[in-house]
Structure 1
Amino acid sequence: MAGDPYAALGLTKSASDADIKKAYRRIAKADHPDLNPDPAATARFKAASAAYDLLKDPEQRRRFDAGEIDDQGQERPQRRAWRDHAEAAGNPYARSYGFDSDPDLSGVFSDLFGRRGGFHRGHEYDDPRDFHVRGQDYRFSLQVDFLTAARGGKTRITLPEGGDLEVTIPRGVRDGQTIRLKGKGGQGLGQGGAGDAYLTISVAPHPDFRREGDDILLTLPISLPEAVLGGKVTAPTIDGPVNLTIPKGATTGQKLRLRGRGINGGDQHVELKVVMPPKVDDDLARFFEQWRKDHPYDPRAGMKAEG
């Protein structure tokens, strides 16, 4: 503190003893280093602590107001040598923040710190009564697989202070969506409630399924005989395999719909893809040579040449 101790507390010389204590309590709650890491706040707190240490004692306050001691609590040069005063027993300015062994401030700091944490100089106080801080919110990025996102499920996350937490993933959660877990963040101070945990979800891609809104898209390979003759084939869905009827003469790109097989009432759209056998043998080649002679057709009819 340098200058006017009343100004350091935001007061004037007309302030009462109660005003001085109240002002210091207010500054301590806002600017104590364990609560506010801002260097400017620390400087304000130190100045207020030194001012309170000077003004809390009626005799010291009287002597300061009378000009007998300065704002550091030191005797004016004409009254007493500085070294004599500095080395005198009970000089309050041997203390850094002005509240060591001060029963008047036990109420102030019991409001700030519980026995769980104390503060950085190692002191401990009673549980807080009227100073309450909500716990810190936690934020996580969580990747889930496609089917867990589509169907819902459970997973576990590790918390910053140790331990883990089981998390329920709601059915149909989207990539980039944030889930709030109320009260699953850091513990509060005093009667301040716990913070929340926020999970930002990223959905891993699936080798077969794609999502469009609440619909599921699937490309389904079918064989040449299945495309020609039609029939029932097994098709995967997010909830398990189902039978799908392939019409005769199916072609690549043709789309079929499975109603209600998507997410939350959406559908699954199945796009067919005709896949040739791994090897065209002589029997298949001879068959199609004869078939082509008897059944000529041009699948490119109607296309206009560019140029």
Structure 2
Amino acid sequence: MATRRDFYEVLGVDRNADADEIQRAYRKLVRAYHPDVNKDPGAEDRFKEISEAYAVLSDPETRRRYDAFGHDFRQVPPDVDPAEYARARAGAGTRVGAGGTWRSAPPEGFGFGADIDLDDLLGGMFGGRGGPRWGPVPGADQEAQLTLTVEEAYRGGRRSLTLPGGKRLDVTIPPGVTNGQRIRLAGQGGRGGDGAPPGDLHLIVRIADHPRYRVEGRDIHTALPLAPWEAALGATVPIDTPGGEAKLKVPPGTSTGRRLRLRGRGMPNPRGAAGDFFAEVRIMVPATLTDAERRLFEQLAAASRFDPRGRS
């Protein structure tokens, strides 16, 4: 099994990076690896890795648990002390051979004599000759993908899901979920043994491609078609956003490719500032001109000294 990369390494930030640094790094990487702009075969997997890392590190509580327990943070119960967990992991890291005996250097304090039988040492908690004696075993955490439209991710709400095996669930989706974010459903994972509680189900959000919008983190991007006179003279035009219609001011002299921003009209953020909504200008001309339109364009062409190609 391949070793999962550290989430800080995935985003290229230090472990003491603040929230703004993490967000900036995420946005930079998304622009480079989003499957819509990067057609490299590995770009989609890299994008998913980046999205998962950001979903974890952008949430203060999830980041705290990740810092304490690494990639096991979803499986470790909330009342486990990080120091005790680290010591347990260090002890469990020694290789064990058949029958539960140490096959590498023995643990500190046991000398360098014969092999040590873990079954005797730990009172049979690993099974062995007397058979397994585990006691209650908590259920395993499970994962499933949750595909949402941009509008569903923006608004949130209730959603019915059918999981593999036919199990149906009603899920509450918080407003403003992002690609790679996890929604935890406590107690909906694998069943526990001997009366132990079940594990949790983690729904991994995937925002589906949209004919009008493109989502990067919490920012939403769209195209803004403009008539030549709106771009030249300036205008205030209506534009659709996932949160409803908005009015966007177009400055005079706007050219194709210019990005206009509606601050705070991107994806909502329950824990901070919402994303922004960006409209990229595309100047459109009529496919067929009326006689009056043709005359006006001809008059403009004759009167104007503007050269869009910048030649003297």
Superposed counterparts of 1:151-230, under 5 Å: 151-160=155-164, 162-230=166-234
Residues 297 and 150 from structure 1, CA distance in 2 versus in 1: closer, same or farther, beyond 3 angstroms?
Answer: same
Superposed counterparts of 1:270-281, under 5 Å: 270-281=279-290
- SS of residue in 2 equivalent to 1:241: strand
> What's the TM-score, normalizing by structure 1?
0.53
Q: Summarize deviations over 1:146-183 as a string: whole Å, max 9, x none.
A: 22223323322224554411122233322233332221
Which of these residues, 262, 286, 295, is aligned with residue 286 of structure 1?
A: 295
Q: Summarize deviations over 1:37-75 as a string: whole Å, max 9, x none.
A: xxxxxxx78xx7xxxxxxxxxxxxxxxxxxxxxxxxxxx
Q: What's the counterpart of residue 242 of structure 1?
A: 246
Computed over aligned residues only, the root mean square deviation of the Cα atoms, in angstroms, reads: 3.3
Identity %: 40
Paired residues of 2:154 and 2:243 also in contact (CA < 8 A): no
What stretches of structure 1 of length at least 5 have no aligned partner?
1-7, 9-22, 32-43, 49-107, 113-129
User: Paired residues, what number?
Assistant: 189
Residues 161 and 212 from structure 1, CA distance in 2 versus in 1: closer, same or farther, beyond 3 angstroms?
Answer: closer
Q: Displacement, 1:134?
A: 1.4
Which of these residues, 266, 275, 283, is aligned with residue 266 of structure 1?
A: 275
Q: Summarize deviations over 1:14-40 as a string: whole Å, max 9, x none.
A: xxxxxxxxx9xx989948xxxxxxxxx
Residues 196 and 30 from structure 1, CA distance in 2 versus in 1: closer, same or farther, beyond 3 angstroms?
Answer: farther
What stretches of structure 2 of length at least 5 have no aligned partner?
1-98, 100-119
Residues 144 and 245 from structure 1, CA distance in 2 versus in 1: closer, same or farther, beyond 3 angstroms?
Answer: same
- SS of residue in 1 equivalent to 2:244: coil
Superposed counterparts of 1:31-180, under 5 Å: 131-160=135-164, 162-180=166-184
> What's the TM-score, normalizing by structure 2?
0.52
Residues 299 and 201 from structure 1, CA distance in 2 versus in 1: closer, same or farther, beyond 3 angstroms?
Answer: same
Give the whole-Å Cα distance in 1 for the aligned partners of 2:124 and 2:286: 81
Residue type at the aligned position of 2:189: G
Q: Displacement, 1:241?
A: 0.5
